[in-house]
Structure 1
Amino acid sequence: MEQHIIEVLYKIEKEYHIKILYACESGSRAWGYFSSNSDYDVRFIYIHKKEWYLSIDQQRDVIEIPVDDAPLHEQLDIHGWEFTKALRLFRKSNPGLLEWLGSPIIYMDYLHAADKMREMEKDVFSPAACLHHYLNTAKSNYRHFLHHEEMKVKSYFNMLRPILAGNWIEKYGSFPPASFQDLAEDILLKGSLLEEINTLLKKKLSGEEENVGFRTEILNAFMEEEISRLEETAKKLQYRGEDPTFMLNQLFRETLDAAWDISKKER
């Protein structure tokens, strides 16, 4: 599957006349609780030729599959963001983009652009913005959850991961790691709650994610309490003060020059 993904990425480069700077796995495979039927959620950041940026018209800054003449595996979901779009979202401390940068599964990494963004993360990371994002995600999923007496195994992870991520931000003031297991063990440490989550994790990994079971009261109580508590924490957090635009502009210009000046030698 990895080879198929890389072949599709190269075909995207050729068809759209771009350079892919970074491509990774997102979603459950990056988070460490995928099953054999989980999708491959491939996300990438790309850069156009210089001429593309010298236009009076705003152009599309997202690439979505399907690609002409590139049949995809049925489990493959793939799309990308143009580099300046990615940098604008990075400036806002966008959690989705930060999750891409923290993915343990990387398919392409060109010109160390992602490494340079990671080095700048401390200057753009906003605990307030990210905590609000994860809190809103948890609340939205939990509202849906309340209407059902029975729940799929994977539905619990849709609620638990953002809650644990919010706890990590509160505890460390940094962006949470990708691994769900690392989050659970760090935040919950030990006890019956962690045991219950590990039981669900085993079911998820064994392919039982679509199985329906009755709601688990120990997890329900934990989620309700943490959502309420994190709401109070979020009210106290301050947004980042300094504007990182100058250094992000520099990164874009340097990468744009490098991508096309040396592309014939490297690709």
Structure 2
Amino acid sequence: MTAEAIRNEITEQLRRIEQEEQVRILYACESGSRAWGFPSQDSDYDVRFIYVRRPEWYLSIREGRDVIERPISDQLDISGWDLRKALGLYRKSNPPLLEWLQSPIRYAEPYRTADRLRALSAQAFSPKASMFHYLHMARGNFRTYLQGEQVKIKKYFYVLRPILACEWISQFGEMPPMGFNELVERLLPRDGELWHEVRQLLERKKSGEELDYELRQEAIHAYIDEQLPSLEERAHSLKAADTPIDEQLDRVFIEALQEVWGLVLP
């Protein structure tokens, strides 16, 4: 299926979700390897979205399901969060949500909600919480896939990217860029074996070469072994964020209901 056909299919599935669930999709984007910049030719499409229900849904004493999931096919996975759930996670500096908002591949943004959240991102971002999120991701993938002499070599990307994200946070104190290439170019010295191993592996993955079990990459492995304890020490030294933005997020929620459904408050 061509890229245009896939995009049309995604648009159609989002429209169907709106009709079947009686919601409005505020924002939809690509997440995962395609958005990070290291897809292979057979990479899945991981579509993530934020939606809002009708105002009366939020007034019930019963808590409704706040996630919509549509595993469409082996190639296409679509899921989204209700706006109120998303705002609750946003106030905790949830890195996946912050990444969605800066995704380079956007499928829908008919309302202003995403822009309002981007405008608050510097206040919402917590370096400490985000570093621990990425460290947890890196350690989990390293422990699961990269032990022994023979390793699942494509999983290096799923350890390197969160490590580089941590390094970015440590150096610049801000949300890291989504693109893997930008992280590599800004943070890894170009004159070393590490940089060449990473670039070579990236070119192999993008070319569609099957990356399965191979001998481990020694320079990359040594870098990971060195970075994980160092980054954890630096993460512990950071102060927790203390910039309450609850009132601003309440306003984002109300303005979304007004913009989408024409809500009029007394």
Q: Same fold (TM over 0.5)?
A: yes
Aligned-residue offset at 1:209: 4.6
Deviations 1:74-123 (A, max 9, x none): 30011000001000100000011011111000000021211110000011
Equivalent residues of 1:153, 1:208 under 8 A apart = no
Q: What SS does structure 2 have at the residue aligned with 1:120?
A: helix
| Larger CA deviation: 138-147 vs 123-132 | 138-147
Say yes or no: does 1:125 pair with 2:152: no
2:15 is paired with a residue whose SS is: helix
TM-aligned CA deviation for residue 183 of structure 1: 0.3
In 1, the alpha carbon distance for the partners of 2:147 and 2:161 equals: 20
Partner of 1:265: none
User: What's the secondary structure of 2:16's corresponding residue?
Assistant: helix
Asked if the contact 1:152–1:209 (Cα under 8 Å) also holds between the matched residues in 2, the reply is no
Tell me the TM-score normalized by structure 1: 0.93
Find the residue that maps to 2:214 and give its secondary structure.
strand
Which residue identity lines up with residue 11 of structure 2 in the other structure?
Answer: I
1:229-248 maps to which residues of 2 (within 5 A)?
229-248=230-249
Aligned-pair Cα RMSD in Å = 1.3
5+ long unaligned stretches in structure 1? 67-71, 263-267
Shift of 1:207: 1.8
2:59 maps to 1:54: yes
Residue 206, structure 1, aligned to residue 207, structure 2: yes
Taking the TM superposition and a 5 Å limit, the aligned residue runs for 1:1-267 are 1-66=6-71, 72-191=72-191, 192-261=193-262
Is this contact kept in 2: 1:23–1:44, CA < 8 A? yes
Is the contact made by 2:146 and 2:153 (CA closer than 8 Å) also made in structure 1? no
Q: Distance in 2 between matches of 1:252 and 1:92?
A: 16
* Corresponding residue number in structure 2 for 1:69: none
AA at the equivalent of 1:216: Q
> Is the CA contact 1:153–1:209 (under 8 Å) kept in the aligned structure 2?
no
CA apart distance, 1:65: 1.0
Residues of 2 paired with 1:152 and 1:209: CA distance? 11
Aligned-pair CA distance for 1:217: 1.1
Greater alpha carbon shift after TM alignment, 186-195 vs 94-103: 186-195
Amino acid at match of 1:74: D
> 1: CA distance between counterparts of 2:70 and 2:136?
28
Q: How big is the shift at 1:73? A: 4.3
- The amino acid across from 2:45 in the alignment is Y
The offset of 1:30, in angstroms, is: 0.0
Give yes or no for contact 1:128–1:234 (8 Å, CA) kept in 2. Answer: yes
Q: Which residue identity is paired with 1:213?
A: E
Alpha-carbon distance in 1 for matches of 2:53, 2:12: 19
Instruction: Quote the Cα distance in structure 2 between the aligned partners of 1:220 and 1:226.
Output: 10
Structure 1 residues 244-263: Cα deviation after superposition (integer angstroms, max 9, x where no partner): 1111001100111110129x
Pair 1:213–1:146, CA change in 2 (3 A)? closer
DSSP-derived class of the 2:199 partner: helix
Q: Which amino acid aligns with 2:21?
A: Y
- CA distance 1:209–1:118, shift in 2 (3 Å): farther
Superposed displacement of residue 152, structure 1: 2.5
Runs of 5+ consecutive residues of structure 2 not aligned to the other structure: 1-5
